[in-house]
Structures are given as C-alpha cells and as structure tokens.
C-alpha cells in the first residue's frame, strides 16, 4: 500500500515538474473579451447613471495626431545638426476698412462771384467748403470738416501764425468735457501722425480756432470738430504754401 502511494505521489510530482512556468501562465496571456449586451436600451443599462454609486462611462479622450516628419527633396541637403522646419503659415489678419472721401470734397478750381478780394480765405460752414479766392472770378475749393452742433461760429480773423506738425494743447474746457464722457485727453501731445492737428496749422487771430490737418481724413465734409476747420493733410499743406501770415479768413 505504501509502495502504491509512493508511486502515485512520484508520478504527480513528475507531472508537475514537467509543466513549465511559462505554460502555467499561458492561460492568462489572452483574456477573453468582455461581452456587452447588444441591447443598450435594456433597463439595467439605462439605470447605470441613476443608481447611487454607479460608475458612468468615461468620455473618450480625443486622439492627438502626430505630425509626420518632413523629408527634404533629393536636391536639398540638410545639415546633420539642424532639423528641417516647415514654413510658418501667417495668421489671417483682419482687412482694414478703407473709408473713401466723397470726391466733391477733393481740391478743385471753381467759379466764384463773391465780394472778397483775391487771396482771401472764405469758409462755408453750411456746405463744408473752404475757398481760396483767386483772380478772374475763380477760387480754389477744398472740402473741410467744421464745428459740430453747439460749436458753430462765424466771424472774420487773420492768420496770426503758421506751424508745421504743430503740438496740441487741448484747452481745459475740452479736457473737462471729454472727461465727463469717459475719455481722457492729454494736456500736451507732440506733433506727428498721431496728432489730431495733422501736418499743418494756421492760427486764427488770438482765438483757439485753427485751420489744421487731421489724422481722420474720412471726417471731411461733416460737422465733426469743436470749432476748428479741419482739412486733409495734403490739402492743408497745399493751402499752407499758398497763403502768408496776415491772410484774411472769413467764416460764414
């Protein structure tokens, strides 16, 4: 009996030794697929998100596509310590809105039969034109921007001084008025393309009014200023060269 037990025990041991560890783990190498009910509307599936402690399915994480390496053409030699980079694609920029001026406000020679002598500047604030009276019943006409409602004025003055690219010192009244609207003006702004007085200024007598250029040419032809006469920069430069200090200016 003892011999039979010993022989059976020996055979079992030999069989166990014959089975290698690799074979013992093979049954876990490929796990069986998880079977999901084909009926996803089954009541137990619909209740997964409502039962306390139920685990909702995770959201899928979007896959990130990897950029493929760009290979250089055969005729292009790439340095070993440098990588070939693709050309940067410029970002689309917003197209600037181009504002056109009405051609009627561009400089032109017109007939003039007014009483003013040649060399006089006449400003029509109703139709927004400036006339430089010439000889033989002619005048050179420019489009201008004039005082907005509440800032209109009329009178006769002489050009007291002329300035190229003038500095701007907003009057205290203007600073206070704009501050009440939530806009804060500087007490001084040096001449330049950002300066609202533009390229040239002709000062009228001892007043704060001027005939000057602008950095907003699209406003020409409207009632837009605080009383000054506004011209396109190229037009005020042209007028500046044509009239001397002492020229009479009639604002109507």
Active-site residue numbers? 212, 228
In sequence order, what are the residues at sequence separation of 6 or more whose Cβ sits closer than 8 angstroms to the Cβ of residue 123?
129, 130, 131, 144, 146, 211, 229, 249, 250, 251, 252
Backbone torsions φ then ψ of 217, nearest 5 degrees? -65, -20
Q: Which of 166, 213, 228, 163 is nearest to 191 (CA)?
A: 166
Q: Which of 63, 101, 70 is nearest to 84 (CA)?
A: 70
- In angstroms, rounded to a whole number, what is the distance separating the alpha carbons of residues 159 and 175? 25
**Beta 146-147 vs 223-225: how paired, if at all?**
parallel
Asked whether 105 and 220 are in contact (CB, 8 A), the reply is yes
The Cα-based distances of 113 to 136, 142, 160 in angstroms read: 9, 17, 27
- In angstroms, rounded to a whole number, what is the distance separating the alpha carbons of residues 214 and 186? 17
Q: Within a 10 A sphere around the Cβ of 183, how many other Cβ atoms?
A: 9
- In angstroms, rounded to a whole number, what is the distance separating the alpha carbons of residues 245 and 84? 66
């Amino acid at each position: 009996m003892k011999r039979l037990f010993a022989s059976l025990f020996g055979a079992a041991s030999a069989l166990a030794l014959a089975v290698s560890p690799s074979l013992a783990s093979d049954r876990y190498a490929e796990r069986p697929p998880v079977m999901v009910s084909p009926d996803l509307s089954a009541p137990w599936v619909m209740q997964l998100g409502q039962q306390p402690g139920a685990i909702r399915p995770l959201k899928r994480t979007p896959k990130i596509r990897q950029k493929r390496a760009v290979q250089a053409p055969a005729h292009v030699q790439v340095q070993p310590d440098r990588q070939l980079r693709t050309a940067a694609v410029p970002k689309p920029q917003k197209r600037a809105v181009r504002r056109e001026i009405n051609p009627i406000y561009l400089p032109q020679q017109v007939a003039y039969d007014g009483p003013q002598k040649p060399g006089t500047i006449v400003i029509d604030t109703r139709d927004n034109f400036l006339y430089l009276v010439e000889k033989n019943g002619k005048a050179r006409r420019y489009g201008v921007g004039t005082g907005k409602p509440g800032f209109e004025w009329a009178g006769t003055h002489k050009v007291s001084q002329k300035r190229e690219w003038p500095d701007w010192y907003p009057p205290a009244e203007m600073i206070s008025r704009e501050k009440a609207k939530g806009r804060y003006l500087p007490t001084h702004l040096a001449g330049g393309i950002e300066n609202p007085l533009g390229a040239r200024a002709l000062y009228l007598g001892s007043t704060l009014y001027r005939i000057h250029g602008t950095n907003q040419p699209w406003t020409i032809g409207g009632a837009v200023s605080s009383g000054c006469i506004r011209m396109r920069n190229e037009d005020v430069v042209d007028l500046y060269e044509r009239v001397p200090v002492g020229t009479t200016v009639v604002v109507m």
